[in-house]
Structure 1
Amino acid sequence: MALSSARLLRTVCEKCVCRHTPPLWPMLPTGKAAFYGEYRRPGQPRDWNPPWKKFRFSFAKGVQGIRKHFGLLKEEAMERWVGPQGRPLIEHMLEQTRVQWEFRGPESLKQWTVSTDREVGGRSEAYLKLGRNNGTCLLYGTLCSTPPRDGETRYSGYCALRSKQLLSSFDRKKNMDWSSFNTLYIRLRGDGRPWMINIGAETYFSHMRDDMYNYFLYTRGGPYWQDIKIPFSKFFLSSRGRIQDSQHPLWLDKVNTIGFTLGDKADGPFQLEIDFIAVCNDRAHTEEFAYEMYKRNPTV
């Protein structure tokens, strides 16, 4: 009879050549963790601290969290009586443009996360700050496509700006409903580099958590602002950076995040200044989806 993974590891440890050391099998994980283990970046040391040492208990923070979440729950209950998102229904139906993100102070920067290839050992740098007169957001830094010398990573050189997941009371996911709009409206000023716009939507299955909807944005550069309008029908589906063969439109009623990614393999400084990000309803645009959709069970 075949031995299980835990019993096999226990037998090997008990028959270890070095008899003076205690057996290692009580410290070894069992089940899937014995073979797969926890994921970590190449070159990053393993964290040997036990799970109970990673928690920081504080009674004051617990009381503060309870007040915060019950306050959010009260606001959500009151918004139900007024209308969608706390506005009257007639205002929600006649809305043509909605500014979703704007940068008018330090608090607005807390809604975004900046990441670079330094997470995998790269050398790119990216920073986020308020622009002149605290009215815009400026993403700047240096791109470096030299891969790290860890023997595993082959590609490098990217930076990304992504909005944080909106949360309701008790840290529940809060989706943005853009079903009344059909166009993404952004006012920005770039340096001539091509950026990729990424939109993340809620999915029904766990294996779809890496699905993203992308569109390439080409900035002009120079001192002038660009008013860019991108129909949602132009966004294509990708998963982990690979364009999928089976395409379908973006679910506008379950939008979670939006982001900007730079990875054009052109080493050097970059900057992207954003005034606001909004959604609008263009009555002249009637396209449902711009890409070919395959039938899984075609009729003969």
Structure 2
Amino acid sequence: MFLPKITRLPSVRLLSCAHHHQLLLPSSIPLTVSRRALIQGEYRRPGQPKEDKPPWKINFDFSKGLEGIKKHFTLLKQEFSDRWVGPEGKPLLEHMLEQNRVIWEFRGPESLEQWTLSSDQEIGGQSEVYLKLSKNNNTCFLYGTLNSTPPRDGETRYSGYCTMRSKQPLASFDRKKHHDWSSFNTLHLRVRGDGRPWMINIATETYFSHQKDDLYNYFLYTRGGPYWQDVKIPFSKFFVSHRGRIQDNQYVLWLDKINTIGFTLGDKVDGPFQLEIDFIGVCKDYAHTEEFAYELYKRNPEV
């Protein structure tokens, strides 16, 4: 009886083939998973060491504890009283007819406590940024020096930014509180700069954890000179970015859950800069009827 000859592959060759297929499988993942999902995870700035701090901080101080309790119960009482009067403590009719609202104005040293500063010094850079009141104590003066030289840590490739950002508003017992700008459609600024372009960043509350680094951005062009300029930017012009990268999927700014607003300078022009701000507010422009300036993609288009 004639039997066909069976060729057997060596075990080494079989293992190499299996290993080859295992290497090919992960390469097909980016074809089905969106790029944004692949970059999620614990984010660490280049040049910064990994933090191993505990998520809690205990500080036993009896006097500060009594002051904190008194402060938070006062805020809680104010929250209940404002709800009886109307939204944000204003009568309902006044809230409905309101067309302009000043959110931040700089009229004393306590107004500067609502803002935080940061620069590339956090990652080893050399830029400097400062904030102070002007001589007449009616405006704030943001100034410093921009330096785009990256630190020599072998990891950071780009540097050179300075940022001024508002603090997250808090209610009683350190609960998050949001700015509600749903009655307005335009951001109103009165500034005086030195001709540099700035980036305005608005952060909102999000539902999902992978959206925590999303920002709504738009440009602020200062013309320089001794004259003030009133800048009005519709909220429909703000676009979404994630960790400094503009996203393909754009969506409308969530106006009733505003957390913070910030100003960032990073135009790669080394040297001194200055920006003077009178007030930051919102207004209702009835002549502006645009809902959103960018195209919205439908994942399941209608047939």
Q: Normalization by structure 2: what TM-score?
A: 0.83
1:243 matches 2:265: no
| Equivalent position of 2:212 in the other structure | 209
Name the CA distance, whole Å, in 1 between partners of 2:216 and 2:54. Answer: 38
Residues 261-292 of structure 1 deviation map (CA, whole Å, 9 limit, x = unaligned): 00000000000000000100001000000011
**1:190 maps to which residue?**
193
Does residue 139 of the first structure (1) align with residue 142 of the second (2)? yes
Q: What residue is the counterpart of 2:111 in the other structure?
A: 108
Q: Which runs of 5+ in 2 are unaligned?
A: 1-41
User: Which digits, 9 at most, give the CA deviation of each residue in 1:80-103, with x for residues without a partner?
Assistant: 110000010000001010000000
Offset at residue 59 of structure 1 (A)? 1.0
Runs (4+) off by over 4 Å: 38-52
- Measured after TM superposition, the shift of residue 296 of structure 1 is 1.0
Q: Which residue of 2 aligns with 1:15?
A: none
Q: Structure 1 residues 205, 39: CA separation in 2 closer, same or farther (over 3 Å shift)?
A: closer
Q: For 1:149-170, what per-residue CA distance to the aligned partner results, in whole angstroms no more than 9, with x for missing partners?
A: 1111110000000000000001
Higher mean C-alpha displacement, 199-208 vs 111-120? 199-208
Q: Secondary structure at the match of 1:132?
A: coil
What does residue 8 of structure 1 align with?
Answer: none
- For normalisation by structure 1, the TM-score amounts to 0.84
**Bigger radius of gyration among the two:** 2
From 52, 57, 63, give the equivalent of 1:60.
63
Q: CA deviation at 1:57?
A: 1.3
Hey, what does 2:231 align to over in structure 1?
228
Superimposed CA distance per residue, residues 134-183 of structure 1 (whole angstroms, 9 cap, x where no aligned partner):
00010000000000011111100000000000000011110111010000
Distance in 1 of aligned mates of 2:302 and 2:192: 49
Aligned residue in 2 for 1:5: none
* Structure 1: gaps spanning 5 or more residues: 1-37
Report what 1:154 is aligned to.
157
Q: Are residue 297 (structure 1) and residue 290 (structure 2) matched?
A: no
Tell me how far apart the structure 1 counterparts of residues 184 and 55 of structure 2 sit (CA, whole Å). 45
User: Take 1:273 and 1:229, find their aligned partners in 2: how far apart are those partners?
Assistant: 16
Distance in structure 2 (CA, Å) of the matches to 1:241 and 1:70: 40
One-letter amino acid of the counterpart of residue 295, structure 1? K
Task: Among all aligned residue pairs of Structure 1 and Structure 2, give the percentage whose two residues are the same amino acid.
Answer: 77
Matches of 1:227 and 1:204, distance apart in 2: 34
